[in-house]
Structure 1
Amino acid sequence: MQLITTTGSETAANAVIRLNVLDDVLIARQPLIKGLELKAEGIQVLEPVPSGHKVAARHIDVGQPVRRYGQIIGFASQPIEAGQHVHVHNVAMGDFSRDYAFGIDAKGSPAPTAETFMGIVRSDGRVATRNYIGILTSVNCSATVARAIADYFRRDIHPEALIEYPNVDGVVALTHGVGCAVDPGGEALAMLRRTLGGYAVHPNFASVLLIGLGCETNQIPDLLAAQGLTSSDSLRTFTIQGTGGTSKTIASGIAQVKSLLAEANKVKREPVSAKHLIIGLQCGGSDGYSGITANPALGNAVDRLIAAGGTAILSETPEVYGAEHLLTRRAISQKVGEKLIARIHWWEAYCKRMDAELNNNPSAGNKAGGLTTILEKSLGAVAKAGSTDLVDVYEYAETVRAHGLVFMDTPGYDPISATGQVAGGANLIAFTTGRGSAYGCAPSPSIKLATNSRLWETQEEDMDVNCGGIADGTMTIEERGEYIFRMMLRIASGDKSKSEQHGYGQNEFVPWQIGAIT
């Protein structure tokens, strides 16, 4: 990244950023006014350009590609003059070939480092970053009961309920809106069961109650069988109909949680290798700075984590669309690269079937922040994956077993995406945002990274890290990457993230719904 400094009485110092010598656009570090001279580029701003948006560095003919990061982000839908604002009004999507070059940039494992955090080691050797009791539901019909049980143990409502159990982080109910009126042998129910199964055995839960209604399609015995699970003292299952009604079920659930608290409280933290960390990578409410500041800084932290033996899960398949060739080049084998492309093709077919297009993302907020097309967002989004090899590709909520950088197929909608990552084993989430997304992800803590200093200053109560200084040169990607990595270890060791302090996490459990409801 190169910062371009302009001088003179009618110019502003460091007004724009050039990311690559091949780029057709510059990124505004501040609002650019009409008539501003960008002497280093030899152009004059022809119209107002908001902060984080793009200004043309040269003339672009209609139909010609527009490049940022040295990569195509779209095509000029009308002639664009040097100095004009470049955005949705003059840039459109278009088809173009991408060289997947499977594995050409794979470079092998990084030099190993030894890093530790204070984790919770379960009796079977799994390592947790938090210690919750979880309440899951097989169907929407048991959601009210599950929440009533969890509410009994809320510290803000009944502070005395957990006062004797300081090592228990809380009791959380993770409910959803499906589980019935679906094909019992179809992909949608299989995906829901895979998600619930992943949460049922997540190491951040000391124990779990799984509650159903009794007559739903998603029968609990079938769910357990499909996931290779059995009921036990730490995985208790029951239904409203079998217990005898709502009030009896709530009373039974409360009593069962009480009986589990003493054992759950016995945990202690101890030093463990960072290889036990599985980080889910998210970016939401993005802006024009996301791919310049927070995402590459997070990518630097990911490289450090992987060198320490840990795992990072890149996801949001629609948000790597147009940048997937940068990942296939890093795949450890052609087979791994082709698994990623297969998911891209699935999404193309899925959108066609739904009469939609992959470019329905960026959102309105993303566009207001300066992102024009999904190609532009994707190129910035992959930066949070760092620079190590892509070692495997997983389907939604599939258990992640590899160490290193992996990819999980998910939608771009953050709650659905992170739900799949946690089901796959993520015990920490790192979430970059330029617009101010408020988000948590129980039972795994979520670290929020602000892409710009304005957001940090206005919404610091929700942000854990400010990466805005990268854009103005007051901090480097490497410095911020080291800071983020150290914060990951601290949060994994028990320090509370901002979203945890505010109580986020229960409502953000959103399994992916892809099937027909009948």
Structure 2
Amino acid sequence: MPSISEDPCVVTPSPVTPPPAIRLHSRDDVVIARGQLVGGTILPGEGVTVSGLIPPGHKVAVRAIAEGEAVRRYGQIIGFASRPIAAGEHVHTHNVAMGEFARDYAFCADTKTTAMAATPATFNGIVRADGRIATRNYIGVLTSVNCSATVARAIADHFRRDIHPEVLAPFPNVDGVVALTHGAGCAVDPEGEGLALLQRTLGGYAAHPNFAGVLVIGLGCETNQISRLMETQGLKEAEFLKTFNIQDTGGTAKTVARGIELVGGMLAEANQVKRQPVPAAHLVVGLQCGGSDGYSGISANPALGAAVDRLVAHGGTAILSETPEIYGAEHLLTRRAVTRAVGEKLVARIRWWEDYCARHHAAMNNNPSAGNKAGGLTTVLEKSLGGIAKAGHTNLVEVYEYAQHVDAKGLVFMDTPGYDPISATGQVAGGANLICFTTGRGSAYGCAPTPSLKIATNDALWNRQQEDMDLNCGSILSGQKSIDEMGAELFQLMLDTASGTLSRSEIHGYGQNEFVPWQIGAIT
């Protein structure tokens, strides 16, 4: 039988058939079904007989829980019994609800010295002329406003290898030309937070190392004027950063022709890049989980956390995000903050979200999604506790607002929504040159210009949707591999992908439609 550590999420492998349910912590009131459980199943070591049908990844009560009493998983509160729950009963939305409880933030209580790797790991990166390190080599077409989206896509389509393979054939070192369009840019407060967020996002992409060159195209009369965008983001037009407007150029056809000409003029120089070994300290990895299930916090997320611990030990950076999906578990991060000020920044973002939801008559427990619940997650508290496992065990060194440039080394937090495309867009704007994306229900997400690795939590998902998955962590659930072993495997996959190995989503051509800047504020 696998041994269960007092450390949440640690399940050590065993050569024998694993038991039908997983206990994560000695204080837990529930265990997690490895597969579907039927009534009458006896849970070894728990002294409990299952009552009724329990789906895979769902929870079984291991003791009687009174109405109003806290329910614990990972040794932490995931909700409160909305009615009496008997031992052996299915524990889910029908008998567990959210409730208020105090969190002990204990700022800096669990910080520790990070042991740096004796021999730094490397990957084959692209070194830009100014010293920035890239993992991919794209040319980007950005838009200041939705009104210029169609021409931007027409320009990028001219260079698509699946439509016009002959155009980029002489330039094999160019990964592609991508148009990243959006639905905003006008009818907003010119001095408001919404426009500032959009400009910060566009600025981060325009300066991203994974772009060898960038065009920024506007209509001409929009609120998000290109001149103002360039000024606020400290950008200047140059040989590989060009801007122009449809109205000034003379219309759609002339704008498309102008864009094709400008991109064409960048290709020869962009093709000159050569990969070379660089320290893994140049990796900036955005951490995402989407389509999560009851296994996410047991297999894929802790495995990603183990890879993050390795990355940090090699001097790299990991960006944890999705603020609504750490809600109720933020106290476990404040305890790891390197200073009280860093911890207070995180709490301030939590308070902002509470106020934001209240203003819109929403609730933080609107997250999890229907798919999350079908996969066994009952409340946002439970989802959050599993989600922060992606952050490993290292110190929290800084907290950033959405799309801010990340310049710290180590584990950082960026405030974003839980919606994956918006969250990852902010991370890439902040400098992420690799995304690691865990999923239990299945995901078809991809990103540009930053490659995205998708990590399955269970064998069933891997077998069903293997064409979209880059790594399977189901072997943790079966006891065949430990979390640390999977973490080492994932860390190597991160290095390989940063070196140019294509992710599944890149093979399928994902990335352009997944650029989704966060829109907040009134649209008038």
> Is TM (by shorter chain) over 0.5?
yes
Match of 1:36 in 2: 41
Please tell me whether the aligned partners of residues 285 and 433 of structure 1 are also in contact (alpha carbons under 8 angstroms): yes
Match of 1:236 in 2: 242
Match of 1:9 in 2: none
Listed one character per residue, the Cα deviations across residues 126-153 of structure 1 (whole Å, up to 9, x for unaligned) are 0000000000000000000000000000
Please give the alpha-carbon distance, in whole angstroms, between the structure 1 residues aligned to 2:351 and 2:279: 38
Please tell me whether the aligned partners of residues 18 and 478 of structure 2 are also in contact (alpha carbons under 8 angstroms): no
Listed one character per residue, the Cα deviations across residues 465-486 of structure 1 (whole Å, up to 9, x for unaligned) are 0000101101110110000000
Detail structure 1 runs of 4+ shifted over 4 Å in the superposition.
1-5
1:110 Cα deviation after fit = 2.3
Structure 1 residue 84 corresponds to structure 2 residue 93? no
1:357 Cα deviation after fit = 0.5
State which of 258, 262, 271 in structure 2 corresponds to 1:265.
271
Match of 2:460 in 1: 454
Change (3 A) 1:293 1:39: closer
Match of 1:313 in 2: 319
Please tell me whether the aligned partners of residues 145 and 219 of structure 2 are also in contact (alpha carbons under 8 angstroms): yes
Please give the alpha-carbon distance, in whole angstroms, between the structure 2 residues aligned to 1:203 and 1:287: 34
Identity %, equivalent residues: 70
Please give the alpha-carbon distance, in whole angstroms, between the structure 2 residues aligned to 1:438 and 1:499: 7
The answer for unaligned runs of 5 or more in structure 2 is 6-10, 12-16
Change (3 A) 1:13 1:471: closer
Please give the alpha-carbon distance, in whole angstroms, between the structure 2 residues aligned to 1:482 and 1:124: 32
1:386 Cα deviation after fit = 0.6
Listed one character per residue, the Cα deviations across residues 224-251 of structure 1 (whole Å, up to 9, x for unaligned) are 0011111111110000000000000001
AA of the residue aligned to 1:53: H
The Cα RMSD (Å) is 1.2
Please tell me whether the aligned partners of residues 2 and 19 of structure 1 are also in contact (alpha carbons under 8 angstroms): no
SS of structure 2 residue aligned to 1:160:
helix
Please give the alpha-carbon distance, in whole angstroms, between the structure 1 residues aligned to 2:140 and 2:441: 31
AA of the residue aligned to 1:456: W
Please give the alpha-carbon distance, in whole angstroms, between the structure 2 residues aligned to 1:226 and 1:39: 62
1:3 Cα deviation after fit = 6.3
Matching of residues 367-386 of structure 1 within 5 Å? 367-386=373-392
Match of 2:21 in 1: 16
AA of the residue aligned to 1:101: A
1:40 Cα deviation after fit = 2.0
Please tell me whether the aligned partners of residues 198 and 424 of structure 1 are also in contact (alpha carbons under 8 angstroms): yes
1:108 Cα deviation after fit = 2.4
AA of the residue aligned to 1:461: E
1:13 Cα deviation after fit = 5.8
Please give the alpha-carbon distance, in whole angstroms, between the structure 1 residues aligned to 2:249 and 2:270: 25
SS of structure 2 residue aligned to 1:97:
coil
Please tell me whether the aligned partners of residues 31 and 60 of structure 2 are also in contact (alpha carbons under 8 angstroms): yes
Structure 1 residue 208 corresponds to structure 2 residue 214? yes
Listed one character per residue, the Cα deviations across residues 70-96 of structure 1 (whole Å, up to 9, x for unaligned) are 000000000000000000000000000
Please tell me whether the aligned partners of residues 2 and 17 of structure 1 are also in contact (alpha carbons under 8 angstroms): no
Matching of residues 96-115 of structure 1 within 5 Å? 96-113=101-118, 114-115=120-121
Structure 1 residue 93 corresponds to structure 2 residue 98? yes
AA of the residue aligned to 2:234: G
AA of the residue aligned to 1:384: K
1:2 Cα deviation after fit = 4.3
1:301 Cα deviation after fit = 0.3
Please tell me whether the aligned partners of residues 14 and 472 of structure 1 are also in contact (alpha carbons under 8 angstroms): no
Please give the alpha-carbon distance, in whole angstroms, between the structure 2 residues aligned to 1:13 and 1:19: 14
Please tell me whether the aligned partners of residues 155 and 161 of structure 1 are also in contact (alpha carbons under 8 angstroms): yes
Structure 1 residue 247 corresponds to structure 2 residue 259? no
AA of the residue aligned to 1:284: G
Please tell me whether the aligned partners of residues 2 and 18 of structure 1 are also in contact (alpha carbons under 8 angstroms): no
Structure 1 residue 74 corresponds to structure 2 residue 79? yes
Matching of residues 218-367 of structure 1 within 5 Å? 218-367=224-373
The answer for unaligned runs of 5 or more in structure 1 is 6-11
Structure 1 residue 399 corresponds to structure 2 residue 392? no
Count of matched residue positions in the alignment of Structure 1 and Structure 2 = 512
AA of the residue aligned to 1:214: G
Match of 2:8 in 1: none
SS of structure 1 residue aligned to 2:341:
helix
1:284 Cα deviation after fit = 0.3
State which of 58, 61, 64 in structure 2 corresponds to 1:59.
64
Match of 1:125 in 2: 131
1:39 Cα deviation after fit = 3.8
1:489 Cα deviation after fit = 0.3
SS of structure 1 residue aligned to 2:165:
coil
Please give the alpha-carbon distance, in whole angstroms, between the structure 2 residues aligned to 1:205 and 1:103: 38
Report the TM-score, using the length of structure 2 for normalisation: 0.97
Listed one character per residue, the Cα deviations across residues 38-72 of structure 1 (whole Å, up to 9, x for unaligned) are 24211111111000000000000000000000000
Listed one character per residue, the Cα deviations across residues 449-476 of structure 1 (whole Å, up to 9, x for unaligned) are 0000110011110000000010110111
AA of the residue aligned to 2:106: A
SS of structure 2 residue aligned to 1:171:
strand
Please tell me whether the aligned partners of residues 62 and 88 of structure 2 are also in contact (alpha carbons under 8 angstroms): yes
1:515 Cα deviation after fit = 1.1
Please give the alpha-carbon distance, in whole angstroms, between the structure 2 residues aligned to 1:38 and 1:321: 31
SS of structure 2 residue aligned to 1:161:
helix
Listed one character per residue, the Cα deviations across residues 190-223 of structure 1 (whole Å, up to 9, x for unaligned) are 0000000000000000000000000000000000
Change (3 A) 1:205 1:73: same
AA of the residue aligned to 1:132: Y
Please tell me whether the aligned partners of residues 19 and 44 of structure 2 are also in contact (alpha carbons under 8 angstroms): no
Please give the alpha-carbon distance, in whole angstroms, between the structure 2 residues aligned to 1:102 and 1:13: 38
Please give the alpha-carbon distance, in whole angstroms, between the structure 1 residues aligned to 2:212 and 2:18: 55
Report the TM-score, using the length of structure 1 for normalisation: 0.98
AA of the residue aligned to 2:338: I
Please give the alpha-carbon distance, in whole angstroms, between the structure 1 residues aligned to 2:368 and 2:43: 29
Please give the alpha-carbon distance, in whole angstroms, between the structure 2 residues aligned to 1:504 and 1:13: 37
Please give the alpha-carbon distance, in whole angstroms, between the structure 1 residues aligned to 2:339 and 2:117: 21
Please tell me whether the aligned partners of residues 28 and 74 of structure 2 are also in contact (alpha carbons under 8 angstroms): yes
Structure 1 residue 184 corresponds to structure 2 residue 204? no
SS of structure 2 residue aligned to 1:27:
strand
Please tell me whether the aligned partners of residues 25 and 57 of structure 1 are also in contact (alpha carbons under 8 angstroms): yes
Please give the alpha-carbon distance, in whole angstroms, between the structure 2 residues aligned to 1:39 and 1:359: 33
Please give the alpha-carbon distance, in whole angstroms, between the structure 2 residues aligned to 1:188 and 1:441: 23
SS of structure 2 residue aligned to 1:439:
coil
